[in-house]
Structure 1
Amino acid sequence: MYQPPHFREERLEIQHALIRAHPLGLLISSGEDGLLANPVPFLLDAAAAPKGVLRAHLARANRQWQALAAGQPALVVFQGVDTYITPSWYETKKETGKVVPTWNYAIVQVRGPVRVVEDREWLRRQITALTAEHESSRSEPWAVTDAPEDFVEAQLKGIIGIEMTIETIEGKWKVSQNRPLADRIGVTAGLAAEADPRAAEMERLVRAYGGIPGP
């Protein structure tokens, strides 16, 4: 990943937080037919290895697991918040006019070897943990055990597990740090005026990484 130094985010806890907040990763690997890519919801176990372990499952009908079973390493891309940034928000536009649009974003890329898991109990634990992670905040959380046991068993036969031990992890937070202070302030004001939850989240990041106090 292209990484200008001022956009690099190397704090593991921040990288992990983005993965947890945006767990639908793009799993990329190579196979006999070339590159393969599939969106997959991952569960992060930060304590299982120095940089963490990712666990997920694929449909057995998805041929990507067969390429991974051949010992192929993989790349997983986790996309955080992203927003278009208009140069109209920059103070520099008024001063020189020498400005162009850009796109702000936060992203994490993870690489490592992938182990394919066919063990039924591992798969049950994985889907139980993944479900609990995303149901726990609901007033009436659904659990795997709410479904009939024979139905769950039939579903387990149709999936296969994957586990990646993270070897390398890169974070890139491109959130206007490279702009002059007056431009960064203009970006936060512009984002604050947008009726979009993504803009509100990006405003928070621009303030945090740009040294701008909150309103």
Structure 2
Amino acid sequence: MYIPPAFRDDDKESLSATIRAVRLATLVTATAQGPLATPLPLFLDESEAEHGVIYGHVAKANPQWRVTPLGDGLAIFMGPDAYVTPAWYQTKQETGKVVPTWNYVAVHAYGPVEFFEDADRLLEVVTRLTNLHEGGRISPWSVSDAPPDFIQSQLRGIVGLRMPITRLEGKRKMSQNRNAADRAGVVSGLSASDRPSDREVAPLIPS
């Protein structure tokens, strides 16, 4: 990922927070047949390895797990993002020398990809993913709510994913390259947007 110095995020807690907040990531592997990519819910276990380990699962019918990766895999975690119109910049009024851009947060995690079919490990991954995404609900659903034989049949249709993280790249592009007046204009414009995703980006822009 191309990261100009102004946008680089090397803070481990910030990177981990982005990974934890992203509900759907993308797993990419390079293969002799070309790149393969799958959108997946993933979770980070920070108790394992220096940078943590990413877990998830893919459908057994998905060919990605059967094709030997060339080198490390890549998990892409895209955080909040928003389009930025030049109309919000004070500089537009002064010189007109402005262009549109996009503000966003992204984390790329790299590491060797391991796939597994062990039923007990699969059940643990499925349970942890379920608890993660059901935890905030008023009446959370639990894996144990379904009949055990049904769950076992579902586990036979998936393959587990484990990726120890060997390298992390973080990018937080939030108008840091603009002057204070331009940044203030972006905050005002995003805050007034009818898009919830725009309003989520507004407070991330430095004053």
TM-score by length of 1: 0.93
Which residue does the alignment assign to 2:95? Answer: 96
**One-letter code aligned to 2:33:** D
Runs of 5+ unmatched residues, structure 1 = none
- Asked if 1:122 is matched to 2:151, the reply is no
Q: 1:67, CA displacement in angstroms?
A: 2.0
Cα deviation 1:56-84 (Å, max 9, x = unaligned): 1111111101124x674201111111111
Which residue does the alignment assign to 1:191? Answer: 190
1:112-151 matches, within 5 Å, as 112-151=111-150
TM-score by length of 2: 0.97
- Asked if 1:21 is matched to 2:21, the reply is yes
Aligned residues: 207
**One-letter code aligned to 1:28:** V
Moved >6 Å (runs of 4+) = none
For 1:15 and 1:67, how far apart are their aligned partners in 2? 29
- Asked if 1:175 is matched to 2:174, the reply is yes
Tell me the secondary structure at the aligned position of residue 185 of structure 1.
helix
Query: 1:15 touches 1:171 (CA, 8 Å); kept in 2?
Result: yes
1:82-93 matches, within 5 Å, as 82-93=81-92
**One-letter code aligned to 2:81:** D
Q: 1:31, CA displacement in angstroms?
A: 2.4
Which residue does the alignment assign to 1:51? Answer: 51
Tell me the secondary structure at the aligned position of residue 99 of structure 2.
coil
RMSD of the TM alignment (CA)? 1.2
Q: 1:166, CA displacement in angstroms?
A: 0.3
Query: 1:92 touches 1:99 (CA, 8 Å); kept in 2?
Result: yes
For 2:71 and 2:102, how far apart are their aligned partners in 1? 33
Cα deviation 1:12-62 (Å, max 9, x = unaligned): 111111111113111111223211011011011012111110001111111
For 1:37 and 1:167, how far apart are their aligned partners in 2? 19
- Asked if 1:9 is matched to 2:19, the reply is no
Query: 1:71 touches 1:114 (CA, 8 Å); kept in 2?
Result: no
**One-letter code aligned to 1:162:** L
Tell me the secondary structure at the aligned position of residue 10 of structure 1.
coil
For 2:197 and 2:107, how far apart are their aligned partners in 1? 17
For 1:114 and 1:174, how far apart are their aligned partners in 2? 28
Which is further off, 110-119 or 124-133?
Answer: 110-119
- Asked if 1:66 is matched to 2:56, the reply is no
For 1:72 and 1:64, how far apart are their aligned partners in 2? 14
Tell me the secondary structure at the aligned position of residue 76 of structure 2.
strand
**One-letter code aligned to 2:110:** R
Tell me the secondary structure at the aligned position of residue 83 of structure 1.
strand
Which residue does the alignment assign to 1:107? Answer: 106
Could you say if the C-alpha distance between residues 75 and 116 of structure 1 is closer, same or farther in structure 2, counting changes exceeding 3 Å? same
**One-letter code aligned to 1:44:** L
Runs of 5+ unmatched residues, structure 2 = none
